[in-house]
Amino acid sequence: MVLDNFGYQVDAKYGAARLDLGRAFTGISFQDGSAEASSPPPVLVLQKQCEWLFRTAGPDRYIEKILKCKSVATPDKTGDTIIKGPMQRVQFAEKTIKVVFSMAEEETPYMGDTWVKFPEGWKRCMGKSLDDPYAFCRGNTTDFKPFKMPDGRDCTVYPHCTE
């Protein structure tokens, strides 16, 4: 049997309700290669950074969050090379790969042109009306709509709720 890839899921909660959770799928892939290339250290540490992407959903415009995780370029401790892309499986015999996760400090909107950032936080664009499920800004940075936080609070600015 030859290892081609190793996939796993990351689960996280963003609220108290049972369904206030996000899931991201990530992994490591391997390929054939030469054993003559530089060998990684006995324990190779790979960095993954996760972030919450927020959006509104439903007629009451409840905040929902999507978890997104990606690899972060990390210098290899034995040389100054960056480990990225598929790893050469021949180099990893008898080695340990450790994955370390971190969370981004700031959340960003799930989709572009639907929120406008202000010093006090993000405001949800109005779109064509309060009932517009897509609510793209389309250059309108003065008309916004309220939304609900996962805990039910009515808000105008995310994440602090009020201006």
Domain closes at, from 66, 81, 103: 103
Q: Within this chain, do residues 122 and 84 fall inside the same structural domain, yes or no? A: no
Query: What beta strand segments (E) does 40-118 contain?
Result: 43-57, 62-72, 87-88, 96-103, 108-109, 115-118
Domain count, the chain: 2
Residue 17: the pLDDT is 86
Count how many Cα atoms sit within 13 Å of the Cα of residue 135 in the half-sphere of its side chain. 26
Residue 84: the pLDDT is 62
Residues in the chain with pLDDT < 70? 34-40, 74-85
Residue 81: the pLDDT is 42
Peptide bond into 59 cis (omega under 30): no
- Of 43, 33, 7, the residue nearest 91 (C-alpha): 33
Residue 34: the pLDDT is 66
Q: Which domain holds residue 148?
A: 111-155
Residue 39: the pLDDT is 67
